[in-house]
Structure 1
Amino acid sequence: MTSAASAHITGESQSLRYLWLYALAAAGGATAYMPFLTILLPVRVELMAGGQAEQVEWLAYCFLAGAIAASIANIAFGWLSDRTRTRTPWILAGLVSSCGLLLAMALADDLPILLVLLVAWQVSLNMMLSPLAALAGDTVPDHQKGLPGGLLALSPGLGAAAGAIVTIEGLATADERLALVAVMVAVCVLPVLLFGRPRPMPKLMRPRTAEELRDPARQGRYKRGVVARMWLARFLMQIAEAALFAYLYTWFRSISPDFGDDDTAQVFGGVLLVAVPLTLLVGRWSDKAGRPIFPLAIAAAVTAIALLLMASAQTLLPAIIAYTLFGLVTSMFLSLHIAQTLRVLPLPQRRGRDLGIFNLTNTLPALVMAGLSLDLVPRLGFPGFFTLLAGLAALAAMLLFTVPRTDQAA
């Protein structure tokens, strides 16, 4: 009898109802930041700035300050939720405060005030996101992590879809769009807090000893070199992803001034929705083949190619095609990478803190991207910027391709 089958018989599996509610909450987390950071914030900065140069500069400042705040807050609230041995109150407090601050963005009448509100919003948002991420490790046993891992691929797509919905022409004003996003987030996150009722998983919360970590059967999973390569590869890939996250709208507008925010949202959302079935298929193949890292390496290599195509694009259609390829493979990479991270972190008693440290691969790239964009975009334009990003993606592919297959077993 397999361990998974045994777990089902002994009642060690989490309910499917809870898994779906958790996936919905994770999608709510993506909805909280994707429409705002990719579309709504750049549009507000464009309206306040005195031209494209000032727009790029202020967007860089916004993402720089926001990334610093998010990095610190994610680790801090993960650690606090570890120490208090509870996640739900932190998630709820973060939900309420982040939605309130999102609504307050409508009151900002100049760029410095918008920047201050953005930093406060990032802190409150990560009060919700950090404990929410740790909650999956607390409640979902290893033999079921494939399902939530696949469902998490829905989060970027649904977050992008939210952006496409709120930017439908004539649906809402700029301020009403912020309110629509806040309502969507609450609708997604509240059900798991109010009705989730996960089955207790005491084995997942039991502190792991040094002897257990030295167990030869576990050393492939917890081998430091593999974890370090995965961290660094994601860090490099996220620099490229963060750049497109921040400047996709601006880049499309530099190629075609008639390309609006609703057009950008539809392309962004469509790509991520198409990426969902692709991610599920590739993830299922990697489980059957016992090759969890190989698809990540392939995705990083194709990302490098897509960025070179974007660097050479001079008209709208080639730009959309190149970005579509980029969006598909990076979405697949990031979703599958999340599933692997949930399996390799070894200490349940520090799960929230450790996920916060791993989350630096999401926030620190924004700092690097902001510094690069302030220097390279004004001097070399987007083609030079994208060429550099292609080199970083190629390095990430090399890191993952050189992981021995014997070290990839979970």
Structure 2
Amino acid sequence: MTPAMDHLEERPPHLAVAPAPDPRSPSGETAPGGPRTTIARGAGDGDPPQVSAGFVLLYALASFGALLVLLTPSLESLALRINASVPADRAPGVLGTVLAVGLGLQVLALPVIGRLSDRTRSRFGRRRPWIVLGLTGLVAGALVMAFAPGVTGLTCGYAVVSVAGSSCVAALLAVMSDRVPVRQRGLVSAFLGLGTVAALVVGSVIVALLPHDSDGMFVVPAVVGAALLALFAALMNDRPSSHDAPHPRLTVAMMVSTFWVSPRRHPDFGWAYLSRFLLQLAYAFLTTYQAFYLISHLGTADADVPGQVLTGTLLLAGATIVASVVSGRLSDKLARRKVFVITAAFITAGALLVIAGAHDLTFFYAGLVLGGIGYGGYTAVDLALATDVLPNPEDAANDLAIFNTASTLPQALAPAVAPGILAVTSGSYSALYVVAAALAVAGGLVIPRVRAVR
């Protein structure tokens, strides 16, 4: 990073964190419940310096870039390509298989790459090498999806994109713990959440502007995303780690533990994980089957789907942006996390019920606006809450990668579960979204069990 950029990224803090003790046993385990963190005025030990607006912008753009490549296929591109390649009655099942393979690989790859990132020792730092490796794989996987023939090509390409995207996401998640102080995590989490919404919007715009069967549906998002990731990797202050003390040799037991944070030892982290899992599963039902919902439930013609998805995504994005920024700022100012997550969960449930009962596009769009308010309020705070209750900040990439599987696992699970719900209910998308609403309510109800933050 250039001296000018380094000055832009770090400034002496005017607020600091007063962390409560983090007792550890000789074995290195955190005491049950994990470290307790409060947001307070005063001096704090070990909290990173305040980050600047320039850093937050570059960080959010990098997150947006990775998610643009990951989300555009699952939102629309794969469904459109598959719908044009196989009989209509087989399309949902084929889409579910392709998504399950790729998203299953994400669930496996995220914690592994997170652990490897924490252990990386190089003159380029711990996070930068994995971002660069990931962006290279994103472009390669997109080219396979675009130009390799048939469902096999789509499956293989999406698998490569999923693993490469996991490399980027695992490294980027760790930057929150590495670089962002507790007092700013609500705001930064809000901007990262906006990156998710922006990825959905821009992905929809790209698909809508390109010809219906264009290979650009896969290539253009990959090129844009790779460029933004490369910019962040070039400018980020990821200090050289080649002279850091080496970790103990990686054992089979350590690799197994990579996929697990004990909810008994760290119940706060466990409840935060469960809440995100339930909320993201509810949203996965909506976003994964949005195209089929429009076609089967509202009677939309195939050719009109991209435009309607784009309109709905823009409405959802506008509501999300407002709710996310407001919730993130208020969460930091009031030193509260849980009330925002709980409120957002119930708003999300209401949105899904509106969509379940919709009989025309007006009510569908109204549900998406309400869903954007819930999604924005939730994503503004949930990552900040999880970072506040990390079992061990030294393993931030691994632990946050595990937390992020609460987003990727539902995306893999939804295509496996939704066809069963549709089969039992004679293809009723209303029933599917009622189930999703119940999941959202459950995701809000578990948050009061988190004790370490307010």
User: Are 1:262 and 2:307 an aligned pair?
Assistant: yes
Q: Which amino acid aligns with 1:247?
A: Y
Q: Is the 8 A contact 1:163 1:269 kept in 2?
A: no
Deviation at 1:11, TM superposition (A): 9.3
User: Are 1:230 and 2:272 an aligned pair?
Assistant: yes
Which residue of structure 2 aligns with residue 396 of structure 1? 443
The 10-residue stretch of structure 1 (355-364 or 189-198) with the greater mean CA deviation from structure 2: 189-198
Which residue of structure 1 aligns with residue 16 of structure 2? 3
Deviation at 1:170, TM superposition (A): 5.2
Give unpaired runs (5+ residues) of structure 1: 208-221
User: Are 1:321 and 2:366 an aligned pair?
Assistant: yes
Listed as ranges, the matches of 1:30-109 within 5 Å are: 30-51=67-88, 53-85=89-121, 86-109=126-149
Which residue of structure 1 aligns with residue 32 of structure 2? none
Which residue of structure 2 aligns with residue 174 of structure 1? 214
Q: Is the 8 A contact 1:67 1:366 kept in 2?
A: yes
Deviation at 1:122, TM superposition (A): 0.8
Q: Which amino acid aligns with 2:91?
A: Q
Listed as ranges, the matches of 1:71-220 within 5 Å are: 71-85=107-121, 86-169=126-209, 174-197=214-237
Which residue of structure 2 aligns with residue 275 of structure 1? 320
Q: Which amino acid aligns with 1:140?
A: V
For residue 359 of structure 1, give the secondary structure of its aligned residue in structure 2: helix
2:353 to 283, 308, 332: 308
Cα deviation, 1:38-72, whole Å, max 9, x if unaligned, reads: 01111111111201x31111111122212210001
Q: Which amino acid aligns with 2:299?
A: S
For residue 257 of structure 1, give the secondary structure of its aligned residue in structure 2: coil
Which residue of structure 2 aligns with residue 247 of structure 1? 289
TM-align CA RMSD: 2.8
How far apart, CA to CA, are the structure 1 residues paired with 2:377 and 2:228?
A: 22
How far apart, CA to CA, are the structure 2 residues paired with 1:189 and 1:195?
A: 10
CA separation of 1:342 and 1:407: change in aligned 2, threshold 3 A: closer
Q: Which has the higher helix share?
A: 1
Listed as ranges, the matches of 1:17-32 within 5 Å are: 17-32=54-69
How far apart, CA to CA, are the structure 1 residues paired with 2:87 and 2:213?
A: 22
Cα deviation, 1:333-370, whole Å, max 9, x if unaligned, reads: 13321122222214132111111211120122123312
Q: Which fold has the larger relative contact order, with Cα–Cα distance below 8 Å and residues 6 or more apart in sequence?
A: 1
Tell me how many residue pairs correspond in the alignment. 388
Cα deviation, 1:100-144, whole Å, max 9, x if unaligned, reads: 111221123222332222222211221221112112321223233
Which residue of structure 1 aligns with residue 433 of structure 2? 386
Which residue of structure 1 aligns with residue 385 of structure 2? 340
How far apart, CA to CA, are the structure 2 residues paired with 1:389 and 1:44?
A: 26
Q: Which amino acid aligns with 2:98?
A: C
> TM-score w.r.t. structure 1 length?
0.86
> TM-score w.r.t. structure 2 length?
0.78
Cα deviation, 1:140-182, whole Å, max 9, x if unaligned, reads: 2323323422321320222023113312445796112322112
